[in-house]
Structure 1
Amino acid sequence: MTEATKKLYEINSPVFAVAPMLDWTDRHCRAFHRVLSKNSLLYTEMVTTGALIHGDRDRHLNFSRQEQPVACQLGGSDPKVLAECAKMVEDWGYDEVNLNVGCPSDRVQSGKFGACLMLEPDLVAECIAAMKDVVSIPVTTKCRIGVDDQEPEEALNALADKVIAAGTDALWVHARKAWLKGLSPKENRDVPPLDYDLVYRLKQRLPDVFIGINGGVATLEETSAHLEKLDGVMMGRAAYQNPMLLAEVDRVVYGEDGTAITPVEAMDAYRGYIENELTAGTKLASITRHILGTYQGVPGARHFRRIMTVEANKVGAGIEVLEDALAAVSHHQSVALEAREQKEAALI
Structure 2
Amino acid sequence: MVRRLVDLLAVVVVVGVFWLPATLEARSAARLTAGLVLAAAVACAMLVRRRVPTTAVLVAGTATVVATALGTCQDFMVATAWCLYPLALRSAARTRRLIRVLVVALLATAAIAGIPPGQGSQVVQSTILSVAALCVAWLLGGMVGRQIELARQAESARVRLEVARDVHDVVGHALGLVSAEAGVVRSLPDADERELRESLADIEVHARRALEEMQSLVRGLRGLPGLPGPHGGSTGPLRPAGPPAERLTELVDATRATGVAIDARIDLDAPVGEEVAAFVVRVLQESLANVVRHAPGAACTVVVEPDGDDVVVRVRDDGTGSGGRPGAGVGLRGMRERARLVGGAVAWGRAPDGGFEVTARAPRAAPWQGLSTFG
TM-score range, shorter chain: under 0.3
TM norm structure 1: 0.25
Higher relative contact order (CA 8 A, sep 6+): 1
Decide which structure has greater helix share. Answer: 2
